[in-house]
């Protein structure tokens, strides 16, 4: 149930715990000039303090800090939150083991982004960046003062080592990420150059390079990168490890000697001395622990609890605050995902029929207190969501794919889940339509009431689930499937087993959510691309293989203006929805949060669109904390 992102080209935003995938073209804002050896005589080299997707950078080369921070925010105190399941490693880049929450917090990258600009990066380890108009390569000019936690300098050799190590020894999905790279080389101690393949997604490759978490080459001379470890890795970031209880909790500690604390991208950020993550095996236990003060910040994702559970004494006493804040990001792609690697799901009519057995309207009314809206798009709550019939802009991308995609993509409004009746878990009209689709697909009901194909195989569906709170959602779905003659089962396993089975694609249906980028690009290869379908641990949980989808992803990667990008994404959304690779669930365009009243933040009601920033741009109020402690509010 954990919202996961591809462990691939993730550019770190300053919101610990939410590594957002910033996919982007790499046109540059502030521009310099010059020439480089080996370039055509008429090709200019662009030099900049930042990278922007389609237009000018919001912040100039002399900006003091991001607009949404409080530059005078005090440092100190602790914020704590929770995570589901377990962990056995602090190594987030390998397939082996289950890495702990926030375990990328140790690392700086060459460049970093903000919460108010979805498609831009500014210098962190890199002071400036150079690239030619052909975008065939990029050079990062690194700050000589950048250093790892042990005081050793961060060098171009470390960056090259990082690239080669992730490519050769990291999660298999890194090979897909780096497919457009020719290589990396250290030009001198603090200049590193990446070269890209001429036919690759050049605009994307820049940000892939800029967002690499920089590893220490010297550190790994005495350690095996491919082995799990609970030792604090050697990073150059603002936090290091304070303490760890395997499987139970991790506490990160802010470094007073952090080399980059006064850089513009860091001013007003990294305000807590300690960030603690408590682990729990189930949702109910985690909630009870919050009520008792075991941790201090919680975003509530369970509608039943938000509607009925927040009536405990700490609220009555004013110790805990409840708020609903706007969420400016695309809603994401949460749903039940089919494993198309299994032959029984090869016919889209079967997948559509199974989707009809999920009664969202009943679930929303009976289980969610009406707090959610049905998701129907992979880019829900954004202007990249396909609507109605294809527009002229979309048709430019769809027409070359005629014969590869269903004709309905051109002739019918984009697929939207039919609205079911909320008065009963099973909508007879929807189930009748589902039954007809299954008959047409060759799954007939036998004398024992079960559906079989021509080979006599029973149609079965097993839901892989690691969350007790999802039982109440899945079980009515299972009942409806059984009414259709499908042998359905909700198999609940512990979090560690679920993580391993998901890595190996050992499931029929799995629940997954992807937080889609506001500027989609190469991360889509990992979620929907054919090459990722057989890469163990990849984000292509559905196992989708489609030349048409791959072609549209390439068009998205190469779009050179936002209007073309929107049209290409809408075309992809339209094609994906026609394939019925998932049963979409629900979303809410807000953050429902609860926290002990000892924190401040730089905004009131409207957070920056990229996130609420509770772990980085909020800060600790020592007087409020002392009052809560004196009154017995906290453990």
3-state secondary structure of 31: coil
Decide: 47 and 32 in contact? Cβ < 8 Å. Answer: yes
Distance CA 318, CA 266 (A): 33
Split at pLDDT 50, 70, 90, the class of 55 is low
Containing 574, the helix (H) or strand (E) segment is helix 562-579
pLDDT by residue (tens digit) across 383-402? 999 999 999 999 999 999 99
pLDDT exceeds cutoff 60 at 26: no
Q: How far apart are CA 436 and CA 557, in angstroms?
A: 39
Which has more confidence, 216 or 328?
216
pLDDT at 278: 97
Residues 47, 52, 55, 58, CA torsion sign: negative
Listed range (204-213, 356-365, 409-418, 599-608) with the worst mean pLDDT: 204-213
Average pLDDT over residues 162-189: 93
Number of neighbours of residue 76 by Cβ within 10 angstroms? 14
Contacts of 309 (CB under 8 A, 6+ apart): 287
3-state DSSP assignment of residue 361: helix
Q: What is the pLDDT of residue 43?
A: 75
**Selection from 276, 321, 306 nearest residue 294 by Cα:** 276
pLDDT score for 375: 94
Pairing of strands 274-280, 78-84: parallel
Distance CA 579, CA 153 (A): 50
Within a 10 A sphere around the Cβ of 406, how many other Cβ atoms? 14
**Across all residues in the chain, what is the average pLDDT?**
90
Give the C-alpha separation, 327 to 329, whole Å: 6
**Which residue in 331, 295, 281 sits closest to 591, CA to CA?**
331
Evaluate if residue 29 carries a pLDDT over 80. Answer: no
Residue 41: what pLDDT? 53
User: Residue 185: helix, strand or coil by DSSP?
Assistant: strand
Domains of the chain: 282-322+592-635 (no CATH), 335-587 (3.10.105.10)
Supply 459's token pair: 């149609």
User: Which residue, chain included where needed, has tokens 């509530």?
Assistant: 300
Who has greater pLDDT, 22 or 411? Answer: 411
Query: Tens digit of pLDDT for each residue in 226-243?
Result: 999 999 999 999 999 999
pLDDT for position 16: 34
Read off the DSSP letter of residue 38. T
pLDDT, position 572:
98
* β-pairing verdict for 460-465 and 509-512: parallel
The answer to whether the CB of 590 falls within 8 A of the CB of 326 is yes
Residue 167's Cβ-count burial label (10 Å; 0-12, 13-18, 19+) is middle
3-state secondary structure at position 266: coil
Above 80 in pLDDT, residue 17? Answer: no
Average the pLDDT over 14-31 and give the result: 31
Give the three-class secondary structure for 338.
Answer: strand
Question: For the whole model, what pTM was predicted?
Answer: 0.82
Structure letter (DSSP) for residue 344: G
Instruction: Print burial letters for 195-223: b (CB count within 10 Å at least 16), e (below 16).
Output: ebeeebbbbbbbbbbbbbbbbbbebbeee
Q: What are phi and psi of 147, to 5 degrees?
A: -145, 155
Q: What is the distance between the alpha carbons of residues 243 and 80, in angstroms, rounded to a whole number?
A: 13
**pLDDT (average), residues 522-538:** 92
Tokens of 521: 């690009």
In this prediction, residue 176 carries a pLDDT of 84
What number of other Cβ atoms are within 10 A of residue 472's Cβ?
A: 12
Beta bridge partners of 461: 488
* % of the chain residues with pLDDT over 90: 75
Q: Distance between CA atoms of 136 and 200, rounded to whole angstroms?
A: 9
Taking only the tens place, the pLDDT of each residue in 261-320 is: 999 999 999 999 999 999 998 888 999 999 999 999 999 988 889 989 999 999 999 999
CA distance 101 to 256: 22
Q: Cα separation of 401 and 215, whole Å? A: 42
Strand order of the sheet with strand 320-326? Answer: 297-299, 590-596, 320-326
With 90 as the cut, is the pLDDT of residue 207 above it? no
HEC per residue, 460-525: EEEEEECCHHHHHHHHHHHHHHHHCCCEEEEEECCHHHHHHHHHCCCCCEEEEECCCCCCCCCHHH
For 4, the 3-state DSSP assignment is: coil
Q: How far apart are the first and last CA of the chain?
A: 29
CA nearest to 215, candidates 184, 250, 188: 184
Q: How confident is the model at residue 516 (pLDDT cuts 50, 70, 90)?
A: confident
Among 53-62, 165-174, 244-253, 281-290, name the one with the lowest average pLDDT. Answer: 53-62
The residues pairing with 326 across neighbouring beta strands, listed in sequence order, are 590
Reply yes or no on whether the pLDDT at 25 is more than 60. Answer: no
CA 600, 603, 606, 608 dihedral sign is negative
Measuring CA to CA, how many Å separate 315 from each of 124, 318, 624, 631? 41, 5, 15, 13
């Amino acid at each position: 149930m954990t919202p996961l992102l591809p462990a691939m080209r993730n550019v770190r935003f300053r919101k610990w715990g939410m590594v957002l995938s910033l996919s982007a073209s790499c046109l540059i804002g502030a521009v310099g000039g010059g020439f480089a050896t080996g370039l055509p005589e008429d090709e200019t080299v662009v030099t900049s303090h930042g990278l922007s997707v389609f237009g000018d950078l919001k912040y100039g080369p002399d900006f003091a800090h991001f607009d949404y921070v409080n530059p005078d925010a005090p440092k100190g105190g602790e914020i704590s939150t929770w995570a589901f399941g377990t962990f056995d490693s602090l190594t987030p880049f390998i397939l082996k083991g289950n890495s702990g929450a926030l375990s990328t917090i140790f690392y700086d990258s060459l460049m970093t982004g903000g919460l108010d600009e979805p498609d831009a990066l500014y210098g962190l380890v890199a002071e400036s960046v150079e690239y030619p108009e052909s975008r065939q390569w990029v050079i990062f000019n690194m700050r000589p003062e950048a250093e790892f936690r042990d005081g050793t300098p961060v060098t171009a050799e470390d960056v090259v080592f990082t690239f080669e190590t992730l490519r050769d020894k990291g999660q298999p999905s890194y090979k897909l990420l780096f497919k457009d790279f020719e290589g990396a080389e250290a030009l001198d101690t603090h200049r590193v150059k990446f070269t890209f393949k001429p036919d690759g997604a050049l605009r994307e490759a820049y940000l892939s390079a800029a967002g690499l978490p920089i590893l220490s080459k010297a550190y790994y001379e005495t350690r095996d990168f491919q082995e799990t470890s609970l030792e604090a890795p050697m990073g150059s970031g603002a936090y290091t490890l304070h303490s760890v209880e395997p499987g139970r909790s991790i506490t990160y500690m802010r470094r007073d000697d952090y080399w980059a604390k006064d850089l513009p991208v860091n001013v007003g950020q990294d305000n807590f001395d300690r960030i603690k993550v408590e682990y729990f095996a189930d949702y109910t236990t985690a909630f009870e622990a919050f009520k008792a003060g075991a941790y201090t910040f919680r975003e509530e994702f369970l509608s039943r609890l938000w509607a009925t559970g927040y009536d405990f004494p700490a609220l009555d006493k004013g110790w805990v605050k409840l708020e609903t804040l706007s969420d400016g990001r695309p809603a994401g792609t949460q749903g039940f995902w089919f494993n198309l690697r299994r032959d029984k799901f090869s016919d889209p009519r079967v997948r559509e029929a199974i989707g009809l057995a999920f009664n969202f309207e009943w679930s929303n009314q009976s289980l969610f207190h009406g707090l959610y809206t049905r998701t129907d798009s992979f880019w829900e709550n954004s202007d990249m969501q396909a609507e109605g019939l294809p527009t002229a802009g979309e048709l430019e991308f769809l027409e070359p794919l005629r014969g590869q995609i269903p004709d309905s993509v051109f002739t019918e409004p984009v697929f939207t889940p039919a609205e079911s009746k909320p008065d009963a878990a099973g909508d007879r009209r929807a189930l009748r339509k589902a039954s007809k689709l299954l008959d047409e697909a060759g799954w007939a009901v036998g004398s024992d009431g079960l559906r079989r194909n021509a080979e006599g195989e029973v149609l079965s569906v097993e839901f892989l689930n690691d969350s007790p709170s999802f039982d109440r959602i899945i079980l009515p779905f299972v009942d409806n499937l059984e009414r259709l003659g499908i042998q359905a089962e909700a198999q609940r396993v512990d979090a560690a087993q679920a993580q391993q089975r998901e890595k190996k694609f050992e499931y029929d249906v799995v629940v997954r959510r992807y937080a889609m980028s506001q500027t989609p690009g190469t991360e889509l290869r990992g979620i929907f691309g054919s090459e990722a379908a057989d890469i163990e641990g990849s984000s292509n949980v559905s196992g989708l293989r489609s030349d048409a989808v791959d072609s549209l992803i390439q068009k998205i990667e190469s779009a050179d203006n936002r209007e073309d990008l929107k049209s290409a994404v809408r075309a992809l959304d339209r094609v994906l929805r026609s394939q019925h690779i998932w049963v979409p669930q629900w979303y809410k365009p807000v953050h429902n949060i609860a926290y002990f009243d000892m924190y401040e933040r730089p905004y009131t009601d409207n957070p920056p669109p990229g996130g609420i920033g509770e772990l980085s741009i909020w800060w600790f109020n020592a007087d409020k904390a002392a009052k809560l402690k004196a009154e017995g509010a906290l453990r």
